[in-house]
Amino acid sequence: MEVKTSLLDNMIGVGDMVLLEPLSEDSFLENLKKRFDHNEIYTYIGSVVISMNPYRSLPIFTPEKVEEYRNRNFYELSPHIYALADEAYRSLRDQDKDQCILITGESGAGKTEASKLVMSYVAAVCGKGQEVNKVKEQLLQSNPVLEAFGNAKTVRNDNSSRFGKYMDIEFDFKGDPLGGVISNYLLEKSRVVKQPRGERNFHVFYQLLSGASDDTLKKLKLHRDFSKYNYLSLDSAIVNGLDDAANFRTVRNAMQIVGFMEDEVQSVLELVAAVLKLGNIEFKPESRCNGTDESRIKDKNDLKEMCELLGIEQSVLERAFSYRTVEAKMEKVSTTLNVAQAYYARDALAKNLYSRLFSWLVTRINESIKVSDAQAKTRHKVMGVLDIYGFEIFEDNSFEQFIINYCNEKLQQIFIELTLHEEQEEYIREGIEWTNIDMNLHLLSNNQNGILAMLDEECLRPGTVTDETFLDKLNTICAEHQHFESRLSKNSKFLNDHSLPHNCFRIQHYAGKVLYRVEGFVDKNNDLLYRDLSQAMYKANHSLIKQLFPEGNPSKVNLKRPPTAGFQFKASVGTLMKNLQTKNPNYIRCIKPNDKKASHIFTESLVRHQVRYLGLMENVRVRRAGYAFRQAYEPCLERYKMLCKRTWPHWRGPEREGVEVLMTDLQVPADEFSYGRSKIFIRNPRTLFFLEERRRQCLHDLASLIQKIYRGWKCRSHFLLLKKSQIVVAAWYRRYAQQKKYQRIKSATTVVQSYTRGWQARKLLRELKYQKRCEEAVTTIAAYWHGTQVRREYRKFFRANAGKKIYDFTIQRIMQKYFLGLKSNMPSMSPIDKNWPARPYLFLEGVHTELRRIFHLWRCKKYRSRFTEERKAVYEEKLEASEIFKDKKALYPSSVSQPFKGDYLEISKNPKYQKLSSAMDEKVLLADVVNKINRANGKVGQITGTIFTIRLACTGQVKASVPLPDLTSVSVSTQSDGFFALKLKEVRETCLDPNLQRY
């Protein structure tokens, strides 16, 4: 029988906040903290998952955990994100319901990781096969690519998504993935040109500079030093904390898996390099004859390299940075750009270039992961995963934070609406009476005349439009709105409070009040790119640039103003909301426990703020508005059947009747529960806790009974085993005793036999030895006699003929052995190696010495033959210096290894001596810094073919000069110093004491 578990088993705190008793914000936070301290990072609110970021790795995401939650009831195991993913996937596969998983929370709460976990779980539990695995791998590997180009390190999060992402994954009727579509929302492209203190630009810039090979960087005309690029702030480059080199390799591999061709990857990297080069272009003012100011590029090197990367004519792009052409009907007006306008145009081009590249990447990934045309003809099941920026409240909130918070208001509204709708549908489906709850949000941004609409009107109206005029319009229209406050609005309670600046306004969001600084709202909403820059980009020969700037085509000039950033974002959010409303929602609410990105730290005030703006308490109240807990009849009966004798151990009838019998026997008040069509609904958590307490007591009693029966059975079994063992042991012992007795008799017989055979063998051996000794004596006597005869004959022969020949042969063998030994022990080919093998015989002394001399001369010749002309000249100089200074000057030995350079200052290459180089007409044979005694330093001594001069290093002015013919001699001291003196032909001697520091 399978052992079934439940959410209520071994529960730390309360696993489902709906069961929290008493329900208050403090008890809510205390329960979260208790579970967080015990590494329980997931908690339920009904079917909503609350996820606490642990800021460390936990062993709860293993393949074993995936199998544990696979095909299990949502409340069957402890809370986990895998339970929600499994519930959504099974509803999609088995019930043919389109699903969406909404992941919300502020930056650093773990939304991106949560979306990865959901996708990895679905990939693990769906079907297998070569084609299916390829689709799954492409869907999963799209994440590293988009994170590299769309994520950045912020003060709150090392991998913060600076764009919103919604992925629709399509499945076939078996539940296998076929492909997907990714939608992106509002890339924070202002980060390209400027980052807050302590934050980084997008990951790809740092990954490229850290992880690309030297050859790749050379092709892209880049350097590894982050500080050389204006768009990469120095402090963010130093405070790294990420393995950018390894991540770059991961991104390159992911792009290959997704389907990017090698030339496409190279084109993308070229555009990234172009953005970095673009940030290094600087401008200087220049006045024209008519009195107007225009801008000029200071250093054109970066502009040149950027144009080479993109295939653009340098003059075309240079003119686009200096002039702007305004077209109105049939008239064109060209105006010059001042420095501020030129910098604005440069940054606008950088932001547009990067944002369009990012949009192209998303489109290119969609082409790879889309459903094939053959499969697109039939309807598929869809699961959407939304990972979008959370509600943001910074010290300085601008246009980006406003539209991010606008999107979060929309998501909060749809969350409340769908939660109420889902709750109402379940009550109606189960036939339970439902009481409507009014939880509408009165959001300022929902109005037809909302702030985004007013911003668009202000941007499109004729006349002078500034951030101040926009704020005046807000003060006029929204003055009476209860959620709007500014320094001049009638609704403000801070008319005399200087903490609310003139250029700011405050909005009461569902998450709290946020102060927005109006500076930059108009420019960021307009997001204008001068037409001259678009046309310059369109003229590029780069394969990708023309696709990114189609409006630059001169034959298709569109004079219509492009839509504003706010309008585009509002439209895309509206489309997203309509898409979400067609699917069954599943929610993951992410919370970060602290701002330090550290584990085991729970900041109560921070978590309290997130609980409020995520609306978690409201969600609990919605679930508890009617019945706090609901459960299907079968698992309810299975869990509590031991509490009633009529249902224990087995109930043979319908599950609902069994539950009715159980509740009647327990005497639970009728108003504490209701019977639905397939579930029992329990009104108060205390009723559930009463059932759990009775169950724990009953389990304790049952455990005692089982232990008692088990101990009796164990004792009886042990006794019977001992009895049986005693019989077996006795039988085996008797057998063993008889075997030992037989072995002893057999052993004694063997010993007697062996002694008898040994006596007979020794007797035979003595007889054989005697016979052998007799035969050996005869042989020995004969051998001695024959030997005497042979030696006598040999002496006669040697005296007559062989004496001299044997001597010559001996000498020949000695010399042969000598030369072979010399060959195997030859010293190295180095001329300074003084090793030589020792002579073996005294009479070889002369030959031995002569051979050593000849070998040394030969290897010296070999060593000299390898010299080049330059090296030969160097050694000749060293030889001449040795004749002059060896054993005469103490500093000489330390100078032997230093080559003679002559021009030690490298006057022609060193920009410090530019004036000194231009002042010399002849070739410089020797140049170095000299210091005269009791005089100022900073002088340079030079020797040419005709003259010796001393000049000032900064100006090249001649301080002293002596023609070489006037010199009679040069003297140096014998000590370890750099003093030398020049002697002239005249009677008056001038003694110079420069410290050359070299010879």
Segment 867-876 shows an average pLDDT of 81
What is the model's pLDDT at position 947?
Answer: 78
Q: Verify whether residue 392 is a known catalytic residue.
A: yes
Same domain for 585 and 714, yes or no, is: no
Dist. CA 443–CA 799, nearest whole Å: 136
Segment 665-671 shows an average pLDDT of 76
Q: What is the pLDDT of residues 20-35, one digit of tens each?
A: 878 888 998 999 999 9
Segment 359-368 shows an average pLDDT of 91
What is the model's pLDDT at position 999?
Answer: 26
Q: What is the pLDDT of residues 7-21, one digit of tens each?
A: 566 678 888 887 787
CA torsion angle 400 402 404 407 (round to 10): -140
CB of 631 closer than 8 Å to CB of 452: no
Same domain for 588 and 729, yes or no, is: no
- Residue 467: domain span: 1-119+393-527+563-626
Report how far Cα 942 is from the mean position of its chain's Cα atoms. Answer: 56
pLDDT grade, residue 987 (50/70/90)? very low
Dist. CA 913–CA 953, nearest whole Å: 6
The pLDDT > 90 percentage for the chain reads 16
Q: Which of 390, 566, 626, 978 is catalytic?
A: 390
CB of 349 closer than 8 Å to CB of 549: no
Q: Which of 6, 107, 115, 352 is catalytic?
A: 107
The residue that leads in pLDDT, 498 or 187, is 187
Q: Which of 137, 282, 392, 519 is catalytic?
A: 392
Same domain for 616 and 731, yes or no, is: no
**pLDDT of 674 higher than 50:** yes
Dist. CA 937–CA 953, nearest whole Å: 9
User: Is there a domain that residue 691 lies in?
Assistant: yes
Alpha carbons within 13 angstroms on the beta-carbon side of residue 235 total 8
pLDDT grade, residue 602 (50/70/90)? very high
User: Is there a domain that residue 817 lies in?
Assistant: no
Q: What is the pLDDT of residues 696-722, one digit of tens each?
A: 788 888 888 889 999 999 999 999 999
CB of 997 closer than 8 Å to CB of 895: no
What is the model's pLDDT at position 737?
Answer: 93
Residue 717: give its domain's CATH number: 3.30.70.1590
Dist. CA 206–CA 208, nearest whole Å: 5
Query: Which amino acids are annotated as binding site, given as ranges?
Result: 105-112
Q: Verify whether residue 112 is a known catalytic residue.
A: yes
pLDDT grade, residue 204 (50/70/90)? very high
Q: Which of 157, 405, 486, 619 is catalytic?
A: 157
Same domain for 460 and 603, yes or no, is: yes
Q: What is the pLDDT of residues 447-469, one digit of tens each?
A: 445 788 888 887 877 777 788 88
Question: How would DSSP label each residue in 905-923?
Answer: T-TTT-GGGHHHHHH--SP
Q: Which of 104, 160, 445, 586 is catalytic?
A: 160
pLDDT grade, residue 354 (50/70/90)? very high
Question: How would DSSP label each residue in 952-988?
Answer: ETTT--EEEEEEGGGEEEEEE-SSSS--EEEEESSSS
Same domain for 648 and 521, yes or no, is: no
Tokens found for residue 303: 């502009």
What is the model's pLDDT at position 918?
Answer: 67
Same domain for 482 and 609, yes or no, is: yes
What is the model's pLDDT at position 362?
Answer: 93
The pLDDT > 70 percentage for the chain reads 86
User: Is there a domain that residue 338 lies in?
Assistant: no
Q: What is the pLDDT of residues 628-646, one digit of tens each?
A: 677 778 777 777 787 887 7
Q: Verify whether residue 390 is a known catalytic residue.
A: yes
Output the CA angle 833-839-844, nearest 5 degrees: 125
- For residue 985, CA distances in Å to 843, 964, 968 come to 64, 11, 6
What is the model's pLDDT at position 649?
Answer: 78
Among the listed residues 924, 185, 919, the one whose alpha carbon sits nearest the alpha carbon of residue 579: 185
**pLDDT of 74 higher than 70:** yes
**pLDDT of 988 higher than 60:** no
pLDDT grade, residue 736 (50/70/90)? very high
Same domain for 406 and 505, yes or no, is: yes
Same domain for 423 and 444, yes or no, is: yes
pLDDT grade, residue 42 (50/70/90)? very high
**pLDDT of 83 higher than 70:** yes
Dist. CA 231–CA 276, nearest whole Å: 7
User: Is there a domain that residue 205 lies in?
Assistant: no
Tokens found for residue 13: 């705190």
CB of 208 closer than 8 Å to CB of 275: no
The residue that leads in pLDDT, 236 or 303, is 303
Residue 570: give its domain's CATH number: 3.40.850.10
User: Is there a domain that residue 230 lies in?
Assistant: no
User: Is there a domain that residue 38 lies in?
Assistant: yes
Domain endpoint, select from 700, 719, 741: 741
pLDDT grade, residue 727 (50/70/90)? very high
Q: Verify whether residue 160 is a known catalytic residue.
A: yes
Domain endpoint, select from 723, 741, 759: 741
**pLDDT of 4 higher than 70:** no
Among the listed residues 140, 166, 139, the one whose alpha carbon sits nearest the alpha carbon of residue 388: 166
Dist. CA 125–CA 176, nearest whole Å: 9
CB of 82 closer than 8 Å to CB of 131: no
The residue that leads in pLDDT, 150 or 227, is 150
Same domain for 492 and 576, yes or no, is: yes
Q: Strand 99-104 and strand 584-591: pairing?
A: parallel
Query: Which amino acids are annotated as binding site for ATP, given as ranges?
Result: 105-112
What is the model's pLDDT at position 395?
Answer: 78
Q: Which of 112, 143, 210, 534 is catalytic?
A: 112
Same domain for 6 and 104, yes or no, is: yes
Q: Which of 6, 115, 142, 161 is catalytic?
A: 161
Dist. CA 810–CA 521, nearest whole Å: 111
Q: Look over the chain and give the mean of its residue pLDDT values, rounded to a whole number.
A: 80
pLDDT grade, residue 216 (50/70/90)? very high
**pLDDT of 310 higher than 70:** yes
**pLDDT of 875 higher than 90:** no
Q: Verify whether residue 10 is a known catalytic residue.
A: no
**pLDDT of 997 higher than 50:** no
Same domain for 411 and 464, yes or no, is: yes
Q: Which of 210-219, 484-493, 605-614, 675-684 is least confident? A: 484-493
Domain endpoint, select from 595, 626, 657: 626
* Number of domains present in the structure of the chain: 3
Same domain for 649 and 711, yes or no, is: yes
Q: Verify whether residue 108 is a known catalytic residue.
A: yes
What is the model's pLDDT at position 235?
Answer: 58
